[in-house]
Amino acid sequence: MKIAYFDCFCGISGDMVLGALLDIGVKLDYIKGELKKLNLNNYEIKAYKTRKSNITGTKVDVLLNQDDKVHRNLKDIEEIINSSSLGDKIKDKGLQIFRRMAEAEAKIHNINVDKVHFHEIGAIDSIVDVIGSLVGIHSLDLDKICSSPLNVGRGMVTTEHGELPVPAPATLELLKGIPIYTASIEHELTTPTGAAIISSLAQDFGDLSSIEVEKIGYGAGFADFDHTPNLLRLIVGKSFLKWAEDNIDVLEANIDDMNPEFYDYILERFFEQGALDVFFTPIIMKKNRPGIKITVLLEEKDLSDIQKVFFYETSTFGLRSFKVKRNKLIRDIIKIQTELGEIRIKVGKEDNNVINISPEYEDCKKIARDKEVPLKDVFQKAINLARKRLKLD
C-alpha cells in the first residue's frame, strides 16, 4: 500500500499541510490550476523555502488582492464548492470538512449551524488551504493516510471571540476520539482548519508503521520557536505490511447476576453506539458461579457511549479496558447482480491477492425469504458469481 504519514510533532494547520505537499513534490501550478475551478479571484498563492531551527521547509502564503472581510457562512461555502468544476471526490470531502468546522463552532456557541458566521471558515485563505490540500493529497494516489498524535500547544490564543484556551474549543471539538498532547510551547500549534483536515482524512493515529520511505516533505508554520522547528513533516512510502492495520479499544465485564433475557437487548444497544464487534463468553467466577464475560471491540471515539451502555444496561460495577492492534485483510465491497437480486460481497485481500470472499448475510437472507429459495443456495450462487467476476476460477 502507498501510505502518507503526517508527523505532527509541532501541530498542524491548513497552510502547513499545503506546504508539506508542495515540499514533497506536488506542483504549485497544478494546485493553482485546480483552485481556479472555485471561481475565487481576489487572492494569490506564494510558496517559498524557509528555515525553521535549521531545517528547511516550504511556507505557503495566501495573499489577498483586497481586504477580504466577508464572513461567509456554511451555505456560502457550500455554494462556492458545489458550483465549481472540481472533481466529485474533492467536492465531497471539502464539503464534509467545512460542515464539521461549522458544526463545531455551532456547538461551542450554542447556535444553529446555518447561523455560524466567522472568519475561520469564511476567509479565502481557509478555502484555499482546505481545497488546495485535498487536491494535493488526491494527486498522490494514496491507499491510506495516517497521522501521529497531535501536539496542540498550550496557553491562550487571541481570536475574534476574545482570549480562548489552547487548544481552542472548536479545535478540541474536532479532535474528539483522536490522541492529542501538549508540549512546553506557549502557542496554538493545531488550528481548527488543521484539525478538520487531518481528522477527516487520517484513518489511523499512532506511531509510524513499517514503511519504505520514498519522499519526505516539510510544511512550515508562521511562528519561530526557540528549541522546536515549527514544521509539519509528511512522509510518503510503501507499507511492508501485506494487510491493513489499526488500533482499537477493548472493554470487558464479567456478569453473574443478570437476567439472561437481557443479553439480546444489550447486544443491540452496543452496536447502536458504534461497537465494531460484541461477544459473550461463558466463564466460571468466584464461588463457582457460572457467568458471562461481555467483550466489546470499539474505536476510541465511541468509548464514552459504550461505557454508558455497560453501566446503565448491565449489572456490572466495573470495567476492564485496554488497547489492541488489529491486523486485517484489506477489504473491498463489490456488488453482484444475480437473477434473484443484488448481493453485496465482502472481499478480503493480502496485497492484491484475494484470500476470502463473504456474501453479505442480510442481502442473502432477504432474497431467500422474498424468493422462497434456500439460503444456502443464495450464498453459493453469490460466491460463484463473485469468483467469476474476480477471475479466480
* DSSP-assigned states of every residue in 346-382: EEEEETTEEEEEEE-HHHHHHHHHHHT--HHHHHHHH
pLDDT of residue 69: 56
The domain locations on the chain are: 2-242, 245-327, 330-389
Q: What is the dotted CATH code of the domain comprising 330-389?
A: 3.10.20.300
For position 322, what pLDDT does the model report?
93
pLDDT at 318: 96
Mean pLDDT, rounded, of the chain: 91
**Distance, CA of 246 to CA of 75 (rounded, Å):** 35
- pLDDT tens-digit map of 95-137: 999 999 999 988 888 888 877 765 555 578 889 999 999 999 9
Cell numbers found for residue 310: 455497560
Rounded to the nearest 10°, the torsion over CA 187, 192, 195, 201 is: -150
pLDDT at residue 121 in the model? 52
Burial bucket for residue 77 (CB in 10 Å: 0-12, 13-18, 19+): buried
Predicted pLDDT at 332: 85
Strands 204-205 and 144-147, sheet pairing = parallel
Rounded CA separation 257/292 (Å): 9
Are 193 and 130 a contacting pair, CB within 8 Å? yes
C-alpha cell at 11: 501541530
Q: What average pLDDT values come out for the chain (393 residues) when binned by 10 residues?
A: 94 97 97 95 92 96 72 86 96 95 88 69 82 98 93 87 87 92 91 96 86 96 93 92 80 96 97 97 95 96 94 97 88 89 92 88 95 95 93 83
The DSSP H or E segment spanning 48 is: strand 43-52
Fold of 245-327: Alpha-Beta Plaits (3.30.70)
Q: Is the pTM of this model over 0.85?
A: no
All three cell numbers of 134, joined, read: 485535498
Q: Given this chain, do its domains 245-327 and 330-389 carry the same CATH topology?
A: no
